[in-house]
């Protein structure tokens, strides 16, 4: 059970956008060039983030992507779910429907204690990710790596040259 590499890309791309002036849209090609990522694949993640309302895109020659909300209103869970989808990690195919004493009318995703135990773990994971915003992450980075915001802006500027 592993996430796609797109989660790492999306997470760092959103974080980098917090250091740019509000309202400044960055073309997808520049966001990809920042980490030398394949532009078509990063663009796929950007579209997913846009569909989820995490980033917004502006068309046109000066268009591009920016955060759709303030970093305080974007959680790490928002970003993960945008890329990986909302489904729970545990796949319950209601195996108990084929078991002895099965009731065809029962929803075993709710009734089955295996499914419920797995869901509790999934919720613990989601709670942890939902409890941290992009603003928290930004603040943590700025405290531990004070050069990061400047480095980020400088690289975007250089890419723009």
Residues within the interface to its own copies (CB under 8 A)? 1-5, 7-9, 11-12, 15, 34-36, 76, 84, 87-93, 95-96, 98-101, 113-114, 117-118, 120-122, 124-129, 132, 137, 140-141, 144-145, 147-148, 151-152, 154-155
* Least CB distance to its own copies at residue 83 (A): 9
Are 88 and 117 a contacting pair, CB within 8 Å? Answer: no
Q: Which is nearer to its own copies, 63 or 160 (CB)?
A: 160
* Least CB distance to its own copies at residue 78 (A): 13
Give the HSE-up count for residue 61: Cα atoms under 13 Å, Cβ half-sphere: 0
Q: Which is nearer to its own copies, 58 or 151 (CB)?
A: 151
Q: Which is nearer to its own copies, 72 or 93 (CB)?
A: 93
Using alpha carbons only, what angle is made at residue 68 by residues 83 and 37, rounded to the nearest 5 degrees? 45
Q: Which is nearer to its own copies, 70 or 145 (CB)?
A: 145
* Least CB distance to its own copies at residue 76 (A): 6
* Least CB distance to its own copies at residue 6 (A): 9
Q: Which is nearer to its own copies, 12 or 69 (CB)?
A: 12
Q: Which two tokens stand for residue 41?
A: 């694949």
Are 12 and 42 a contacting pair, CB within 8 Å? Answer: no
* Least CB distance to its own copies at residue 153 (A): 9
Return the closest-CA partner of residue 67 out of 5, 8, 24. Answer: 24
Using alpha carbons only, what angle is made at residue 7 by residues 152 and 131, rounded to the nearest 5 degrees? 90
Q: At what angle do helices 113-130 and 76-84 cross, to 10 degrees?
A: 130
């Amino acid at each position: 059970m592993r996430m796609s590499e797109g989660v790492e890309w999306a997470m760092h791309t959103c974080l980098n956008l917090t250091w740019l002036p509000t309202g400044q849209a960055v073309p997808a090609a520049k966001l990809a060039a920042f980490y030398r990522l394949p532009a078509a694949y990063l663009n796929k993640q950007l579209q997913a983030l846009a569909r989820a309302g995490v980033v917004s895109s502006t068309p046109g020659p000066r268009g591009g992507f920016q955060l759709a909300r303030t970093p305080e209103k974007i959680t790490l869970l928002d970003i993960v779910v945008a890329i990986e989808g909302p489904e729970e990690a545990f796949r319950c195919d209601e195996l108990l429907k084929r078991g002895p004493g099965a009731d065809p009318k029962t929803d075993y995703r709710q009734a089955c204690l295996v499914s419920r135990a797995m869901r509790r773990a999934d919720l613990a994971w989601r709670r942890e990710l939902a409890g941290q915003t992009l603003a928290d992450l930004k603040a943590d980075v700025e405290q531990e790596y004070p050069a990061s915001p400047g480095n980020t802006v400088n690289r975007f500027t250089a890419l723009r040259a």
